[in-house]
Structure 1
Amino acid sequence: MKIIFLVLLCVSVFAQNKVPINQSKAGCGPVAAVKQTKNNKIMTKKGEKNVLGTDLQIAGKSPLTGFYRDGFCSTGDLDAGVHVVAAVVTDKFLQYSKARGNDLITPYPAYGFPGLKAGDKWCLCVARWKEAYEAGVAPPVILEATHEKALEYVTIEQLRNAEKQ
């Protein structure tokens, strides 16, 4: 019970953006080193690789994405959905996902979820992305921000076919 409460607390705090991910005192969230630019924006996550074999790049900060809500498509033991595909969502994909029971359009403020619109960058569950790919409605991906774990479920060719130009 304590673990569930701690996870919910962490998700809530991170989602509300009240505690920077690298300053968490709650004992959750990623602790991997990150590379920062001169203006202190986190751009890569050291120790985690993308599908190209280089450092994982940030996927999106507005809205703040990622299972850990740190902008990266990282994954871990608690991420049952394996949110590792960095995508630029389209209306076609959002409607498809909603019809399949995963409404990414409607905001859920209690969970810090603003709702998505076409053009937003978001870390998607790899299984949902693959399903959409097979249905011909997969959104374009950002290979540099797609975690290498995605290659356990989809091929690099599939991802390249949907790469954001």
Structure 2
Amino acid sequence: MTADRNVYGTELEPCSTDPTTGFLRDGCCRRVESDRGRHEICAVMTEEFLRFSEARGNDLVTPKPEFEFPGLDPGDRWCLCLARWLEAEEADRAPPVVLEATHEAVLRDVDPDLLREHEYDRTERGGASE
């Protein structure tokens, strides 16, 4: 089996195991043929994005144990649906992206320069919960 690759063409890094994310709930934003939502983009949640997503009918804050979904807080990393991230980007609400943990398949639909504009800056850790 070929290793999953990130947008840099290197081995895909985990997005998050706390909370555990990914379509397969293995911590990685893998390309999975049966995943119609394409949970391939690793993003760091922001209050602004979480409110945006809820307003669009996708509440990412409320836990849903029946779907192994813990509910998200600002600062959590999560594998987002590509279409939702693009919608948020168009509305100037896109959360930062962890490029090392974002699957290379997104490059078919997103310009690399756009991803770099939204690259998560690991030195800016602060935020709502710290």
Assess same fold via TM > 0.5: yes
Q: Which has the higher helix share?
A: 1
Matched, 1:133 2:89: yes
Partner of 2:21, secondary structure, is: coil
2: CA distance between counterparts of 1:131 and 1:66?
Answer: 20
1: CA distance between counterparts of 2:70 and 2:32?
Answer: 23
2: CA distance between counterparts of 1:143 and 1:71?
Answer: 15
Partner of 2:73, secondary structure, is: coil
Note the C-alpha offset of 1:75. Answer: 2.0
* TM-score, scaled relative to structure 1: 0.71
Note the C-alpha offset of 1:121. Answer: 0.4
* TM-score, scaled relative to structure 2: 0.90
**Does the CA contact (< 8 Å) of 1:60 and 1:71 recur in 2?**
yes
Matched, 1:105 2:64: no
User: What are the superposed Cα offsets for residues 42-69 of structure 1, whole Å, 9 maximum, x if unpaired?
Assistant: xxxx611100111100100000000000
Matched, 1:64 2:25: no
The total of aligned residue pairs comes to: 121
2: CA distance between counterparts of 1:135 and 1:111?
Answer: 28
User: What are the superposed Cα offsets for residues 82-115 of structure 1, whole Å, 9 maximum, x if unpaired?
Assistant: 0000010101000000100111111001221110
Which structure 1 segments of 5+ residues have no match?
1-31, 33-45
Q: Which residue of the partner structure matches residue 119 of structure 1?
A: 75
Moved runs in structure 1, 4+ residues, more than 3 A?
none
Matched, 1:54 2:10: yes
What is the percent sequence identity of the aligned residues?
Answer: 52
User: What are the superposed Cα offsets for residues 112-152 of structure 1, whole Å, 9 maximum, x if unpaired?
Assistant: 11100100000001111011011101000000000001111
Matched, 1:77 2:28: no
